[in-house]
Structure 1
Amino acid sequence: MEYQIGFLEALNVMYITGNFFATALLIFFEIIPFIFSVFLYRIVASRIAKIFSIFLFFLFICLFLFIGLIPVCNSGWQIDGNTYHINAYLSSDDVQISGMEIGFVDFESEWEPVWRESGAGVPGLGTGRYRLKNDKKALVFNHYYQRKLLLISANDKYYLIGHPGIKQLYDELIRLGAHKKKFCKQ
């Protein structure tokens, strides 16, 4: 069982999630190379220079897209036997399932991530090492900023996981030997 962010999903969370700022940046950084390429294409007479201007335009598109997407590609988790592997940009960890305690917490509880220490945050995905509202540190993977997160505690480390279908991960971890725990104060 696994949940990984691939290239197309990274493109979706980065540019198509309805975030105005990210979309404006994309348009801005694509219009400038386009205008430059058209200008270069119009003022030069040689065929090689015209081909070069078209090449520059596509190079800028590719660079902007890939530089923005590299941090989030391959973020996610997978279960391999009795090991739960989580991969967040610049951070990853392996946890033995039989030694973990798990439970659901609300995003706006004392377990809320408030400060990213390392990782990547883009519209639709937060991943990396965070300081939480309760002053603990956790490795976080939150796809589409879910309001209900799965909190995993193992070896005095914390992991916050959120994505569509998180209940299936919870059920699978319980089936494989993880222990239920209530983390929030009632």
Structure 2
Amino acid sequence: MAYQLDYFAVIKAFFMPFNLFFLLLFLGPVAIAVFVAYRTINRYRIAILLASVAIPILILSLISFPEVGSGWNLDRNSLKIKSPPVLTTIQLPEARVELVESSGSWQTTLRINGSGKPGLAIGWFKLQNGKKAVVFRHLHHAKMVVLEYQGEFYILQHPGVEDLYMELIARGAKPTGL
């Protein structure tokens, strides 16, 4: 059982859920270039249009590669979490786990070290309850799994996280009220 992001899932996270700022960040240069190309001499129009499309695509491609492969992989008695810059393995018999609402005290408030997009948050975050945790959040879901292992907290939030919670308990993680 695994949940890992491919390249297109990372790209989709820029635009889902809809965020006007990110849309303007990538489509703004295209709109400006089209306007400039319309008002300039013909020989420059093609070059300006190609650059206006190629530059945002190049930027989007380059900043998306580090997140490809992020997620988790569940082995027999361990859970491997890749949430750059964190790569960790949790031994399930020693872990405590809880399924909580995403609107509760386990919400992220400040990114300490990692990456954030409208539909993807990975890395170290400070939480509303004052704790620090490794977070993997993809496409905002109503529930999230909170794990505690060796004094560190880990949060996994994505569609289908309820199934992960049931599987973690079946493989030895202790359900508890975190």
The TM-score bracket by the shorter chain reads 0.7 to 0.9
Shifted more, 25-34 versus 9-18: the winner is 25-34
Equivalence for 2:161: 166
Shifted more, 121-130 versus 35-44: the winner is 35-44
Equivalence for 2:12: 12
Cα gap change, 1:135 to 1:9, in 2 (>3 Å): same
Cα gap change, 1:157 to 1:41, in 2 (>3 Å): farther
CA shift for structure 1 position 70: 2.8
Secondary structure in 1 matching 2:67: coil
Measure the CA separation in 1 of the matches of 2:37 and 2:167. Answer: 53
Stretches of structure 1 lacking an aligned partner (at least 5 in a row): 45-49
- Written as runs of structure 1 = structure 2, the 5 A alignment for 1:71-86 is 71-86=66-81
Equivalence for 1:26: 26
Measure the CA separation in 1 of the matches of 2:112 and 2:71. Answer: 18
Measure the CA separation in 1 of the matches of 2:46 and 2:29. Answer: 21
Q: Could you tell me which amino acid in structure 1 is paired with residue 141 of structure 2?
A: Q
Stretches of structure 2 lacking an aligned partner (at least 5 in a row): none
Measure the CA separation in 2 of the matches of 1:159 and 1:59. Answer: 38
TM-score, normalised to structure 1, is: 0.83
CA shift for structure 1 position 56: 3.8
Structure showing greater radius of gyration is 1
Secondary structure in 2 matching 1:23: helix
Aligned length: 178
Whether contact under 8 Å (2:34, 2:48) holds in the other structure is no
Whether contact under 8 Å (1:37, 1:57) holds in the other structure is no
Equivalence for 1:47: none
Q: Deviations over 1:15-42 (max 9, x none)?
A: 2432111111111133345566778882
CA shift for structure 1 position 136: 1.3
Q: Could you tell me which amino acid in structure 2 is paired with residue 170 of structure 1?
A: Y
CA shift for structure 1 position 89: 2.5
Secondary structure in 1 matching 2:154: strand
